[in-house]
Each structure stands twice: as C-alpha cells, then as structure tokens.
Amino acid sequence: MTTPTRPLDGKVALVAGGTRGAGRGIAVQLGAAGATVYVTGRSAQGHRSEYDRPETLEESAELVTAAGGHGVAVRADHSDPAQVAALAARLEREQGRLDVLVNDIWGGEGNFAWDAPLWEDDLDRGLALLRRAVDTHAITSHHLLPLLLRRPGGLVVEMTDGTAEYNATRYRVSFFYDLAKASVLRMAFALGHELGPRGATAVALTPGWMRSEIMLEHFGVTEPTWREALAREPQFGISESTAYVGRAVAHLAADPDRARWNGRSTSSAELARTYGFTDLDGSRPDCWAYLTAAEQSPTAPDPAAYR
C-alpha cells in the first residue's frame, strides 16, 4: 500500500545502466520511494567492463534495499538483443509488470575526444560510442516496452546530457558525443508520440554537473567532502549529487499527472522546482541556468547564486 513517504510501493522499475553515476542514484531513490528496482549493466562481481571501475551492480542493488526498496542485480549487456530479451522474459516471469524504465546506458567514457573534428577523430571509437549510447537505448525499449504497456501509467526516462533547448544551439563536445545526446533527446520525443496514446509517458532527463564516482575521484574528494574541490575549481560549486536526479525520477514516477511531461525534455533542476525536492544539502542547483548565464557574462557568475 502506497504512503506519502513510499509512493512507489508495489511498483517495479528497471534502471538500465545502474552500476554507477546517475543510474545508481536513480535506482537508490526509486528504492527509497518503495519500488522494487532491477539494476542492470555489465559491471558485476567478477565481471568488470572495459571501464575497469570498482563499482558493481550488486552494490547498487544493496543500496536500493538499504534505502527501503528491493534491489535486484542482473548482469546484461544492453547492446546484445538476446540478453535484453532474456531480461524482459525474467521480469515478466518474476514480476509480471514493469512500471518505470530508465534508459541510462552510456558506455561512452574513453570513446570521445573533446573538440576533435569528425575527420580527425577515431572512427571505430566514435561508432562504438554510438552503439553503446544510442543502439542500447533502442534495443532496451524494443524489448521492455511491451511489458510496460500492459498497465496504464508507465514511465520511460531517457537519460541524456543537456535539455533539447540548451543543446539545440550548442555544439556538445564532439561530433559523436553531440549526435549521441541529440539522438537520446529525440528518442524521448518519438516515444512520447508512440506511448502517449497508449497510456504511458516518455521523458528525456538531464542532470547538471553531477558528482559521479568518476568525477569525485578526479577531484580527490568524496560526496561528504566535495566542497574541498572548490579551491581547485570554483565552478564545481554548481555541481549536484547523483541523488538529485534520482529524486527527480522518483517524483516523476509518483506523479499521477506525469503525462504532462510526455515527449518533453527536462532537467533535475526544473523538476526540483516543480515538485519541491532538494539536493542532499538542501539546495536546488541549476547547472544549465548557470552555464547560460556564464556565456552571457564577461566574468564567471557565482555558483552559489544558482543553488
């Protein structure tokens, strides 16, 4: 039975790409709202992906359970249709339903170069990025949406970098990176047209400058000590925890009027303003407003003014 503090009791979610970063943050917050959360990806105990990172699916599932939900770790490569079909069959067998699908698969770290023009970039690496960041989303939706559509009210969240409005007039990092992020934004738009008449909702969602495990490691800090990095990089003051975007997804999933977001792109900051939640420190960082202001100002704005 749902309660104000556990509005997703009885709901089943799948976070594809939930090993670390935004995916882990989303999975944990869905668990905190009471959901059963299947966390999928390639990095499991004894099986590291080419990232060679220490985070595992099992850890993410344990965090979901510790937050109050029920976490289930399933190792799956979402670029392999057969593995995703098997995942869908398992969900149907074990749960008979799917209420929330989060497509957070990225796999692009190390597969793009900043500001390298297409003809100078590594073609194999760029195409690998598109397979990991675009093909995987289409494969996952193809196999999981039939289960999600069995009940009205399902939610699909396509995770990307930048809102449609922000990215429309800005070159993002490189040809392949830009194309990958634009493709995911368009996926949410297209799915909105296909899912809306069938009673489900598709949304593209972006965090801001997120304090992922990789980013915290880069600055030599932890989530509790992240402000120590400001001496090195003052603009890191606009960063947000992975819980912030996680709370955004949890509030979307619990909103009975979530269809108003169908086909749209939004950000963790916009949803925080809409639903009234905050980041872990009680603030509401808005990275995209900060970046826009920085482009228009001869001096860097104060990040504190955008929290």
With beta carbons less than 8 A apart as the criterion, state whether 303 and 292 touch.
no
Report residue 107's pLDDT band, with 50, 70 and 90 as the boundaries.
confident
Residue 140 has pLDDT above 90, yes or no: yes
With beta carbons less than 8 A apart as the criterion, state whether 191 and 156 touch.
yes
Residue 22 has pLDDT above 70, yes or no: yes
What is the pLDDT averaged over residues 47-60?
83
Give, in order, the Cα–Cα distances in Å from 258 to each of 3, 11, 28, 186: 18, 15, 20, 19
Question: Which pLDDT value is given to residue 115?
Answer: 78
Would you state the structure tokens that stand for residue 3, as one six-digit string? 């309660």
Question: Which pLDDT value is given to residue 109?
Answer: 73
Question: Which pLDDT value is given to residue 3?
Answer: 83
pLDDT per residue as tens digits for the range 235-257? 999 999 999 999 999 999 999 99
Distance CA 95, CA 89 (A): 10
CB atoms within 10 A of CB 192: 22
pLDDT per residue as tens digits for the range 174-183? 999 999 999 9
Report residue 116's pLDDT band, with 50, 70 and 90 as the boundaries.
confident
What is the pLDDT averaged over residues 74-81?
97
Encode 41-91 in three state secondary structure: ECCECCECCCCCCCCCHHHHHHHHHHHCCEEEEEECCCCCHHHHHHHHHHH
pLDDT per residue as tens digits for the range 270-305? 999 999 999 999 999 999 999 999 999 888 899 999
Residue 93 has pLDDT above 90, yes or no: yes
pLDDT per residue as tens digits for the range 58-73? 999 999 999 999 999 9
What is the pLDDT averaged over residues 117-139?
95
Residue 28 has pLDDT above 70, yes or no: yes
Distance CA 212, CA 214 (A): 5
Question: Which pLDDT value is given to residue 186?
Answer: 98
pLDDT per residue as tens digits for the range 210-237? 999 999 999 999 999 999 999 999 999 9
pTM: 0.96
Give, in order, the Cα–Cα distances in Å from 69 to each of 2, 147, 304: 12, 21, 33
Environment class of residue 171 by beta-carbon count within 10 Å: exposed (0-12), middle (13-18) or buried (19+)? exposed
